[in-house]
Amino acid sequence: MGFFDSLKKYKSQLDAVDSSVYYGSKTLLEVYERNAKLEAEIEQRTKELDRANKQMLTLQHIWNMMNSSEPLSSVLNAIVNSLQGELGYVYSFIIQPQIKDGESYIQVAASSRQDFSEKFAKHFNCRLSDYKMVYPNINGLKDAVMNNTIFQSTNLVELIGGFLPKLDKQGLEKFFKDAGMKSYILVPLMSKDIHFGSLIVFSSREKISNNELNFLGLFAKQIELAITIADLFQAVKEQAVTDSMTGLFNRRYFEEFIKKEAIRAERQNQNFSVISLDLDHLKQINDVYGHNYGDIAIKAIADVLKVNARSIDVAARMGGEEFNLILPGVDSAGALVAAERIRKAIEGVELDKIGHITASIGVATYLEQSDDLDELLELADQAMYESKRKGRNRVSLAQHSKETSWQDIAIRTYIDILTKHRIPVEETTAKLLTQKLKEMNFSNEKLYQVADTLVSTYNPDHNDGSVKQKVQLATLLAKRFDLSKEQIDKLKIAVLLYDIGNTMLPKDLLNKTGPLSENDKESIKQHPVIAAREILKPISNITDIIPIIENHHENWNGTGYPYHKSGDEIPIESQIILIIDSYFALLENRPYRDARTKETAIKIITGEINSKWSSKLAQEFISIVKNDLD
């Protein structure tokens, strides 16, 4: 091979190598580019997955809130904070429409916990939540709110400047730039098909993806469900502690609150006062104008208390026309001033047909008149009755009672019955109850517990706590019939003692499931006489209670026992005990039947009008049971 032939050969080999290197490099570059593109796609998918996980976590938080009983304010705050924490929004808040005193506006209901709000307040010397605002006049925004569609924009200055027109626009622009805010999204919120408000989020991103908008739409639906559930929880909670007629707190809440207030008062050595208030002449209003107007008068009293009470005061309807007001941190002098202001306000009310109404008011102060809650409430009640005795429409300050209280009489009577073995109670039980009765720190609750225990000795199906309910119900009924305080005190004692004769009846007779024989019926008819004559008559301090107990099974039409009295021959206190006893008996299980529902019991009570009880008594009773003891 010649020299030139060798050069050609080497050149061909070099060209082949060069071509191989070129195509190899090209392949490597393509592989590198594909890998880089794949890595970028993986990074993008990872970010999307991370964002989806955060969105799911946010939705999970909302679900957790829906499964709790948190108040609406807590739910709204959790919503805005979850958006900030998990989805990276710079700031978020919820606005709600408000109407007050005829003025319509929107106000911040919740805002995320973030440096932004503090910086904003410091920079502009104001907070969004401090202002009554209106929706800014931004093209498309109001339509979005009305049509329940999402609205987005990059013009933050236009939004906040619309909310707060007095703010400097250039200052706003610089502030948003420094805060890294580039856009906002407004998401209308609905609750029960009614516009609830709007969620507004500030984003550091100028462009918002469709996926993000879709998520916010889904998120809004969960918010709406959470709001509905929170509203439901709140409504149920309020119904549990609120009187349905007046909107004031009910007896149950009052009794819980005053116990806590007493603990606070003792810890801080600070007074609180109780105002006991009773609408004058309710019976007369009901008789002349009807119960609807009586209800109107009761609601008018409640409205006066709402207007005149401080935010820390607790006003409660105790039942019927009776109200109590707790004044934390107020001594007797201050309470008398407050009570007189309330009295004048009530006197100034003029109602259609009825005209002016008045109220009798009593005042008692914790740590001044008494350091015992039961005694304090009794003293306030007595002061209220003192106002009635002096002519009504006045305020009286409680005085320490020198007369023996009805509780003392009941306690002494129970101790006598137990220690002298007047009824067949197991000796260990008798000693335990006697010891409880003799305790120095005695309370009404312990008295009711003793009464419940004694009833349970002959009635195993007795509902614990019903003696207290019976006393409360009897008191409310007695006030509807204008009974005096002395009559009401006797009635309370009679309610505690009226059924004590049943302990003397054979248990096999009380538990009999079949029909009663004539002898059985005669034995049962004797239990009021047994209670009154054999058990209670030897106890000297309750002789005036005995006629009430003797007659508590007499029917309005004369078919009762033991004396076959009828109509007004029967003491009103005995009539009250009969209807209360019959009602609670219907609610308890019996060997021969199951317990009845409240609604069924009321129907039975109604069916026996003018036979077992008068129409007037039944109407008043049913009114109280339906409205006052729910």
Q: Are 504 and 562 found together in one domain?
A: yes
Q: What average pLDDT does the chain have?
A: 80
Total domain count, the chain: 3
Q: Give tens-digit pLDDT for 503-518.
A: 655 555 555 566 666 6
Domain CATH for 209? 3.30.450.40
Question: Do 273 and 376 sit in the same domain of this protein?
Answer: yes
Tell me: do 82 and 118 sit in the same domain: yes
pLDDT at position 274, please? 96
279-288, 492-501, 621-630: the lowest-pLDDT one: 621-630
In a domain, 49, yes or no: no
Q: Work out the pLDDT band at 440, boundaries 50, 70, 90.
A: very low
Query: Which is more confidently placed, 327 or 136?
Result: 327
What range does the domain containing 329 cover?
Answer: 251-397
Same domain, 281 and 411: no
State whether 391 and 411 are in the same domain: no
Percentage of the chain beyond pLDDT 90 is 26
Q: Are residues 369 and 433 in the same domain?
A: no
Q: Domain for residue 491, yes or no?
A: yes
Band of the pLDDT at 458, cuts 50, 70, 90? low
Q: What number is the average pLDDT over the span 78-87?
A: 65
- Rounded to whole angstroms, the Cα distance separating 225 from 192 reads 9
Residue 99 lies in a domain: yes
- Strand partners for 108: 95
Instruction: Say whether both 338 and 473 belong to one domain.
Output: no
Q: 577 lies in a domain?
A: yes
Say if 500 falls within a structural domain: yes
Residue 290 lies in a domain: yes
| Residues 454, 47: Cα–Cα separation, whole Å | 72
Q: Are residues 388 and 287 in the same domain?
A: yes
Find out whether 360 and 393 touch, Cβ atoms under 8 Å. yes
Least confident range of 31-40, 146-155, 356-365, 605-614: 31-40
Last residue of a domain, one of 397, 428, 458: 397
- 598 and 459 assigned to the same domain: yes
Q: Are residues 219 and 94 in the same domain?
A: yes
Residues 434 and 319 placed together within one structural domain of the fold:
no
Domain for residue 299, yes or no? Answer: yes
> What's the CATH code of the domain at 280?
3.30.70.270
Beta-strand relationship, 359-365 and 395-397: parallel
CB 92 within 8 A of CB 84: yes
393 and 439: one domain?
Answer: no
Q: What angle in degrees, to the nearest 10, is found between the helix axes of 332-347 and 291-308?
A: 140
- Whichever domain contains 538, its CATH number is 1.10.3210.10
| pLDDT at residue 177 tops 60 | yes
539 CB-near residues (< 8 Å, 6+ apart) = 412, 413, 416, 417
Show Cβ contacts of residue 401 under 8 Å, excluding neighbours closer than 6 positions: 378, 379, 382
Query: Which residues have CB under 8 Å from 562's CB, separation 6+?
Result: 525, 526, 528, 529, 550, 553
The residues near 500 (Cβ < 8 Å, ≥ 6 apart) are 417, 423, 454, 531, 535, 536
What is the Cα 118 distance to its own chain's centre?
Answer: 35
Phi-psi region of 176 (alpha: psi -120 to 50; beta: other; left: phi over 0): alpha
State the pLDDT confidence band at 12, using cuts at 50, 70 and 90. low
458 versus 377: which is more confidently predicted? 377
Per-residue pLDDT, averaged over 332-356, amounts to: 94
Is residue 490 domain-resident?
yes
